[in-house]
């Protein structure tokens, strides 16, 4: 087991990196390189690839593997790399975890298996099986809006006793749930609790979270890193200030529709404006239309005005 290669609990800002695509099946290699540097220069504490924002489940398995391989090469151990291994088949999740281990990643991230409606006992069995066979530690991933099932607090408490499971990322946006799982896992010192919601980072850290997996950190990593650091040092005025810029930034997420895909579309379109990488979406989703680009520019400009120290 390689789970000694990552300091625990994992802390800080770990962006769910978008996947730069040149075609439906090929990575935008130049963009990928630039995006990784953009994030690391922005001070992020880790990079999470192949999550929801990374459109992991929409990519072919060979593209997923190429991405795992390449990102680990580019990062060169400067920050931990977390790899999403959620799938419809738990065997494919295990295979991805094995591949991620060989490629030098630090941990894998696992949501409930998609498609069949499982019972909580089956979620326990699934996560336990993956944890047993994964060479890397496993972080749970709660995102009921997409998987249609949550890891219930009792389930999280049970899985918190499995040594190779090291934490949970909660993207439910449900603060009551967040408190419930925090209360149920607080006894384990090396357990990480992450929020998956951009606007909740400050509040979540104040409530005991170890960090955030924030989509907007793809665009302005420094903004989220600064907010995280202000939150851990209880610099509340600074948190409130930066929060306003994040609020502005999240206008990107609703330029076209109001779904998870529109969030990713907004982030990728901002990265196009910043010259970082391609805005192409994984098929069959489509890119933000040209006609919305001035809105993207307006939002980015407003954030710059508020937060001039942003370095790209």
Least Å distance, CB 30 to a second copy, is 22
Using the minimum distance from each CB to a second copy, give the nearer residue, 63 or 134: 63
Active-site residue among 23, 88, 115, 233? Answer: 115
Active site residue 115: yes
Least Å distance, CB 78 to a second copy, is 30
Least Å distance, CB 105 to a second copy, is 20
**Exposure of 23 by Cβ count < 10 A (0-12 exposed, 13-18 middle, 19+ buried)?**
exposed
How far is 203 from 248, CA to CA, in rounded Å?
17
Least Å distance, CB 259 to a second copy, is 5
Active-site residue among 19, 52, 53, 63? Answer: 52
Helices (H), 44-193: 61-75, 90-103, 120-133, 144-147, 153-159, 175-185
Active-site residue among 63, 169, 195, 228? Answer: 169
Active site residue 52: yes
Using the minimum distance from each CB to a second copy, give the nearer residue, 6 or 83: 83
Least Å distance, CB 301 to a second copy, is 16
Active site residue 304: no
**Exposure of 68 by Cβ count < 10 A (0-12 exposed, 13-18 middle, 19+ buried)?**
buried
Using the minimum distance from each CB to a second copy, give the nearer residue, 244 or 294: 244
Asked if 44 and 38 count as a contact pair (C-beta separation under 8 A), the reply is: no
How far is 130 from 124, CA to CA, in rounded Å?
10
Positions touching a second copy (CB under 8 A) are 24-25, 55, 57-61, 63, 87-92, 95, 113-119, 122-123, 125-126, 129, 146-148, 153, 173-177, 179-180, 183, 197, 199-200, 202-203, 206-207, 234, 236-237, 239-240, 243-244, 247, 250-251, 253-254, 257-261, 282-286
Using the minimum distance from each CB to a second copy, give the nearer residue, 79 or 213: 213
- CB neighbours of 146 closer than 8 A, spacing ≥ 6? 52, 111, 114, 260
Active site residue 169: yes
- CB neighbours of 132 closer than 8 A, spacing ≥ 6? 164
Give every strand in the sheet of 107-110, ordered side by side: 12-13, 211-212, 192-195, 165-170, 138-142, 107-110, 81-84, 47-49
| Backbone angles phi and psi of 48, in degrees to 5 | -110, 115
Catalytic residue numbers read 52, 115, 141, 169
């Amino acid at each position: 087991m390689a789970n000694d290669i990552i300091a625990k609990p994992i802390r800080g800002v770990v962006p769910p990196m978008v996947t730069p695509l040149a075609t439906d099946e090929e990575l935008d290699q130049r963009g990928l390189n630039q995006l990784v540097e953009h994030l690391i220069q922005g001070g992020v504490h880790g990079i999470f690839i192949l999550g929801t924002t990374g459109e992991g489940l929409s990519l072919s398995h060979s593209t997923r593997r190429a991405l795992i391989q390449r990102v680990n090469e580019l990062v060169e151990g400067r920050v931990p790399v977390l790899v999403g291994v959620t799938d419809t088949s738990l065997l494919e999740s295990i295979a991805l975890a094995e591949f991620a281990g060989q490629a030098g990643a630090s941990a894998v991230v696992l949501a409930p298996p998609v498609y069949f409606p499982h019972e909580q006992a089956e979620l326990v069995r699934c996560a336990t099986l993956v944890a047993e066979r994964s060479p890397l530690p496993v972080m749970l991933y709660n995102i009921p809006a997409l998987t249609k099932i949550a890891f219930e607090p009792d389930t999280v408490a049970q899985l918190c006793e499995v040594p190779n499971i090291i934490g949970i990322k909660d993207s439910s946006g449900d603060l009551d749930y967040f408190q419930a799982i925090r209360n149920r896992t607080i006894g384990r010192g090396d357990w990480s609790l992450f929020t998956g919601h951009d606007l909740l980072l400050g509040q979540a850290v104040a409530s005991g979270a170890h960090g955030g997996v924030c989509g907007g950190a793809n665009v302005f990593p420094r903004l989220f890193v600064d907010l995280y650091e202000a939150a851990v040092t209880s610099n509340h005025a600074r948190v409130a200030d930066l929060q306003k810029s994040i609020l502005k930034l999240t206008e990107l997420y609703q330029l076209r529709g109001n779904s998870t895909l529109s969030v990713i579309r907004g982030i990728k379109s901002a990265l196009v404006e910043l010259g970082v990488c391609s805005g192409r979406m994984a098929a069959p989703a489509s890119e933000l239309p040209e006609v919305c680009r001035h809105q993207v520019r307006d939002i980015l400009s407003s954030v710059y005005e508020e937060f001039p120290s942003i370095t790209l």
